[in-house]
Amino acid sequence: MGRFDGRVAVVTGSGRRKGLGEAIARKLAGEGAHVVISDIGTSKDAATPGAMIGATEEMAAIAVELPGSSTCVCDVRDPAQVRALAAHAVQTHGGLDIWVNNAGIGYIMKPLMEVTPEDWRAVIDVNLSGCFYGIQAAAEVMIAQNAKNGGRGGRIVNIASQAAKSGFPHAQAYTASKHGLVGLTRSAAIELGPHGITLNNVCPNHVTTGLGAWQNEYFAKVVGAASVDDYLKAMADRIPMRRPGLPQDTADAVAFLCSDDAKYITAESLNVSGGEEPH
């Protein structure tokens, strides 16, 4: 039997191949959960380019590979769509036990003086406000479930970042959004604890997903590395475990925090960085 047999999980931003969201969804489904694969589906504006989002067809292809899963398009910037995503989980799978706020923008990176108000809002709207809406929507369902059948509780996990603990050049909005998740989680966890709901952040260091590959190219140029390979070697050399993170590292941490083994852990921001981030 899997740790999550009979449980229902929503993972936002999980509709893109080789992304953190897909790895998390596969991990939870592999241990028995019914997973809702969710992503924005189509490009909406300049902040959501097609190359950086999970397309509807891609979402469907991932869901086919995960027995008992479903798909639901959701733009996390819209609280009504986020509530509809929670309702989809209940209507399709009979409840909601796990909610992972994974959707994020990590591809708007510029020098400080070049950041526009539109850039700032785009990142904050997805990375921070989107998580806030997800916490509210998930908690509403989980609290109602507890009132009805008692003791079901719930698990909410935000995918933060090493940037929730340390600053990085060219990542002002991103770093601010991830730092904001730490405060949001600490405060919201206090209110959700009496309902048996835990709320935590997972803070990975750099992970070479599709987005991570773009970041490798960008920051190799920023630091003046001779090549992307040289940039990655320098990164590995400063990490005690001598490698960047893998999607599976983050997925494993999420699964732990969603499991019964972590039932007394809440309001935490867990580093998954191979020792690179000690804060």
DSSP assignment of the chain, as one string? --TTTT-EEEETT--STTSHHHHHHHHHHHTT-EEEEEE-BS--STTS-GGGS-BHHHHHHHHHTSTT-EEEE--TT-HHHHHHHHHHHHHHHS---EEEE----------GGG--HHHHHHHHIIIIIHHHHHHHHHHHHHHHHHHHHSS--EEEEEE--GGGTS--TT-HHHHHHHHHHHHHHHHHHHHHGGGTEEEEEEEE--B-SHHHHHHHHHHHHHTT-SSHHHHHHHHHHHSTTSS-B-HHHHHHHHHHHHSGGGTT--S-EEEESTTS---
Q: Check 133, 165, 178, 231 and give the catalytic one.
A: 178
- 107 flagged as catalytic: no
Q: Distance between CA 127 and CA 130 in Å, rounded?
A: 6
Dig out the tokens for 111 from the structure: 């020098």
Q: Distance between CA 100 and CA 134 in Å, rounded?
A: 8
Q: Check 174, 218, 221, 264 and give the catalytic one.
A: 174
Q: Among 207, 206, 186, which Cα is nearest to 198's?
A: 186
- 174 flagged as catalytic: yes
Q: Which residues form the catalytic set?
A: 174, 178
